[in-house]
Amino acid sequence: MKLKKHLASVGTIAVSMALSANVAFAACATDGLPASMDGPDGYPERALTMIVPYGPAGGSGQVAQAMAQAVSDLTGVSINRDHKPGGSGAVGMTSFMATPADGYTVLEHIDDASSGHALDSSRPNPADDLIPLVTSQITFSQVYIRVEEDRFTDWASFVDWVKAQDGKATIANVSKEGSMERVTMKFITDATGMEIQQISFDKGAPRYGALAGGQVDALFEQPGDVRKFLDAGTFKPILTILKEAPEAFADVPSLTDAGLDFEPLYRFRGFYVHKDAPADRVEWLQWAFQKAYCEESYQKYNESKFMTLIESFRDTEGSRELINNTVAQYRDVYKAMGLEVK
Amino acid sequence: METFNNFLGGTVALFSDPLGILIFFGGVIGGMLFGAIPGVSMLTLAAILLPFTAHLSPEHGIMLFSVIYCTGVYGGAITAILFNIPGAPENAPTAFDGYPMTKNGQAGKAVGAAVMCSALGGTVSAVIMMIATAPIANWAISAFGPPEIFALVFFGLAVASSVGAKTFWKGWLSILAGLLIAIVGLDPVGGIERWDFNMPYLLAGIHFIPTILGFFAVTEIFVQAEKKAKGSYVAPKLSVDFPTLAELIAHKVAVIRSIVIGFFCGILPGIGATLAAFMGYNEAVRWSKNPSEFGKGKLEGVISSETANNAATGAAMIPLLALGLPGGALTAMMVGVFQMHDMEPGPLVFINSADLVWVVFAAMFFANLSILFVGYLETKTIINLLRIPFQFLAPMILCLATVGAYAVRGLTIDVIVMFVAGAIGFFLRRSGYSVAGIVLGLILGRIGEQTFAQAMQMLHFEWSGFIGRPIALGLIIAGFLTLGGSIYGAFFKKV
């Protein structure tokens, strides 16, 4: 099929661009896909449903809204978002798995689905039990401090200061068991030898407020989520958790600059369909969601969220590769951390 | 003077634009209507409208959401008072006394008090918001961390221990039952699975909206149905009499106290109107000379709850606008509206978009005032629903509650939870336990557990850490004193 060839080439390009910093994205990843595509046998005859396992106001809610809008603009097909928050995405995933595999229901999910499967293989594997339509956001994490902070000013002085506190220093993050944040913090503390108390805030506002109000000493977060604080000059990054710093944060030390040798974990969000959905419908959905990624409205949204600093796009095969690598990476880490991997 | 001039500028900008006026009144009415439907709530309206705000100007988009917020918080009071169905959790304490007032033939008075006090609380809150947004926001986030919020929750639970229960001990057992329900699901800090019985849906915990609907609406239907079957049912007397000015002035202390409490709770990120309403109500009980009258149809109960929850609306805009920190789901959606227009709330918004800020401030001020007028008209009409005979009204309420429970997350289990809670509430009420206490324990338990765990992490798991935080320490001491006083009363005084 023509589309498959297109997708294969797009995937190759995307993978080759993978995680390379300092790339100018003048052309969009799916510009080569056909501008329009008819659905098989009149599909879709009605609106699609997008299950979102998180609330409408968070990162997932926003990306779901932006992607649904872009797909609707592109295809004229409405997408109803059905938010089913709770259980770190488990409620939404379970609800999705219970829907008919007819291609009318898609799922938005984040890397938590991959790390959840890594910890407990009875949970669905997004690469095998679902078909990834597109991964549309991939981002990295940073460590932030307040701009007005005078006890430390950069990564080196922060590490020295934390070590001097004898375990009393604090950092706000989402440190649930097995989370990307907790695992990455383990990498950092192991590599630096510093001890720091992680304070777990599951909602963004209290987490950011904790740093702004001086309740904690630092914050672990992704740049898009705290962009307003960066633009306002309230927070500043002192470490970029990437091997090489992207151009936008060229003056912030990367893992390599800081002498930290570990593979960074990424936050990623994507869209999925049932693996048993009819193949021709899946193909149309792949086209719609991947093409929508390059819609102007979606690209503008991604840009506003710092999601263009590293390549955010993965097609189906690229997403599978990303998920499988992530699952393997988490599984190794969990075992090393002494967690029970089922 | 500069503030007043800015306010005038915002007002002129708001009312000199026909589309702005249309959006303003659309938001006022939409917020009231959706706010009155349990489970559906103003959040549903906001979620529906969110994509469309991309086609509005930033001023109109943010203004629409802020108006919906003000009137939506009030809207749920009507159904709470008339049918014992709080439109949203922040209206639950309104039902404690509002519904008994309806049964006592004082529905008009209760709804009138809700209208006036919502308008008053919201308007005062909006005025303070205009005067001192930035300094208040900075103070709140630096003075109130997880230890202080936990201490506040502990104090709130200590104060509310006997609300709606026949004895102190039954009150506490009710609250403890609520706290127990609150621990179902993933623990809020470590993500450990608890009491989920291998059911993924329970990982998200027992949602408080179906629980509230069950304990309040369904239980009430069961109780009234039993009376109907026994022939002892008495239909609520219809009354459209508003409270007199003298009655409201007589409660001036309760109003002022609730404004302070509501405002204070509103400015804490992630806390908001629900805690405000419960705290406002609890403090009214605590300071009352006749606390045993609460829960039986006391006007002060409605006044305290409704003043406090609307006083939280203006306050919740303070951390949002000054710091970019949304206090709840609706203010978080407002961040989305800002972002759709390439803007971010935060300190820069006052510099880069001062006009927008003042249009929003003016809109919130007038939205709260409009509650008075639109709410008055609404009251005179909606109250007539009480004329519907019970055998027709009860199925309608059950349908509405079922839709509301399902609408929260689109999960059947929430409907089941609602009916189970309704059945349990039916038997608990007979034996003198407090369904209000269970709901209070459930709502505050979630916040309390999370902030307690965070506080212990921050204090390095040393209890003595609270001593170094004067506000937290003061609230904990006050909580223990209240508790001690209640225990003393339970042993040595006639309850």
Residue A310 maps to a domain:
yes
- For residues A181 and A316, membership in a common domain is answered with no
Across A228-237, B158-167, B476-485, least confident range: B158-167
CB-CB: which of B47, B190, B345 is closest to A177? Answer: B190
**How many inter-chain contacts (A to B, CB under 8 Å) are there?**
154
CA B47 to chain A, closest CA, distance in angstroms equals 7
End-to-end, the C-alpha distance of chain B in Å comes to 54
- For residues A20 and A133, membership in a common domain is answered with yes
In DSSP terms, B341 is beta-bridged to: none
Which residue is listed with tokens 């400015």? B267
Choose from A14-23, A306-315, B88-97 the range with maximum mean pLDDT: A306-315
Residue A342 maps to a domain:
no
Residues A148-175: what's their mean pLDDT? 95
Burial call A148-174: b when 16+ CB within 10 Å, e when fewer: ebeebeebeebbebbeeeeeebbbbbb
**Three-state SS for B447?**
helix
Residue A174: predicted pLDDT: 85
Residues B120-125: what's their mean pLDDT? 92
Nearest Cα to Cα of residue B310 among B474, B116, B97:
B116
- For residues A150 and A186, membership in a common domain is answered with yes
In DSSP terms, A172 is beta-bridged to: A199, A219
Cα-based distances in Å from B439 to A195, B157, B182, B255: 40, 11, 10, 24
Structural domain ending residue among the three candidates A223, A258, A293: A258
CA A13 to chain B, closest CA, distance in angstroms equals 30
- Dihedral angle sign, alpha carbons of residues A313, A314, A315, A316: negative
Structural domain ending residue among the three candidates A238, A258, A278: A258
Tokens at A4, concatenated: 């498959």
- For residues A216 and A295, membership in a common domain is answered with no
Tokens at B24, concatenated: 């303003």
Total domains in the fold of chain A: 2
CB-CB: which of A198, A216, A232 is closest to B347? Answer: A232
Contact A237, A230 (CB under 8 A): yes
Q: What is the CATH number of the domain that holds A34?
A: 3.40.190.150
Residue A6: predicted pLDDT: 45
On the question of pLDDT at A9 being above 60, the answer is no
pLDDT in tens, A89-100: 999 999 999 999
Residues A128-137: what's their mean pLDDT? 96
- Substitution target in B275, B317, B457, B459 with the highest count of A β-carbons within 10 Å is B457
In A, which residues are within 8 Å of B342 by CB distance? 304
CB-based contact A56 B204, cutoff 8 Å: no
Structural domain ending residue among the three candidates A211, A239, A258: A258
CA B345 to chain A, closest CA, distance in angstroms equals 7
- For residues A67 and A147, membership in a common domain is answered with no
At residue B270 the predicted structure's pLDDT band, cuts being 50, 70 and 90, is low
The dihedrals phi and psi of B450, each to the nearest 5 degrees, come to -65, -50
Residue B39: predicted pLDDT: 63
**Three-state SS for A105?**
strand
pLDDT in tens, A31-82: 888 888 988 988 999 999 999 998 877 789 889 999 999 999 999 999 999 9
Mean pLDDT of chain A: 89
- Substitution target in A67, A91, A120, A302 with the highest count of B β-carbons within 10 Å is A91
- For residues A10 and A88, membership in a common domain is answered with yes
- For residues A224 and A251, membership in a common domain is answered with yes
Residues B259-266: what's their mean pLDDT? 90
CA A96 to chain B, closest CA, distance in angstroms equals 12
At residue B271 the predicted structure's pLDDT band, cuts being 50, 70 and 90, is low
On the question of pLDDT at A17 being above 70, the answer is no
Residue B342: predicted pLDDT: 66
CB-CB: which of B142, B189, B345 is closest to A200? Answer: B189
Rounded CA-CA distance B21/A325 in Å is: 54
- For residues A291 and A232, membership in a common domain is answered with no
CB-based contact A90 B200, cutoff 8 Å: yes
- Substitution target in B325, B350, B408 with the highest count of A β-carbons within 10 Å is B325
pLDDT in tens, A177-236: 788 999 999 999 999 999 999 999 888 888 998 999 999 999 999 999 898 889 888 999
In DSSP terms, A200 is beta-bridged to: A173
- For residues A21 and A111, membership in a common domain is answered with yes
Residue A153 maps to a domain:
yes
Residue A3: predicted pLDDT: 45
CB-based contact B141 A227, cutoff 8 Å: no
Tokens at A72, concatenated: 């609707």
Residue A23: predicted pLDDT: 40
Mean pLDDT of chain B: 85
Across B109-113, B147-151, B155-159, B167-171, least confident range: B155-159
CB-based contact A86 B204, cutoff 8 Å: yes
Rounded CA-CA distance A137/A141 in Å is: 13
Contact A176, B191 (CB under 8 A): yes
In which domain, by residue range, is A227 found?
142-258
Tokens at B423, concatenated: 């059945």
How far does Cα B159 stand from its chain's mean position? 17
CB-based contact B203 A91, cutoff 8 Å: yes
Choose from A223-227, B292-296, B376-380 the range with maximum mean pLDDT: A223-227
Residue A270 maps to a domain:
yes
At residue B354 the predicted structure's pLDDT band, cuts being 50, 70 and 90, is confident
CB-CB: which of B142, B325, B346 is closest to A214? Answer: B142
Beta strands in B160-306 (DSSP E): 185-186, 193-194
Residues B251-262: what's their mean pLDDT? 93
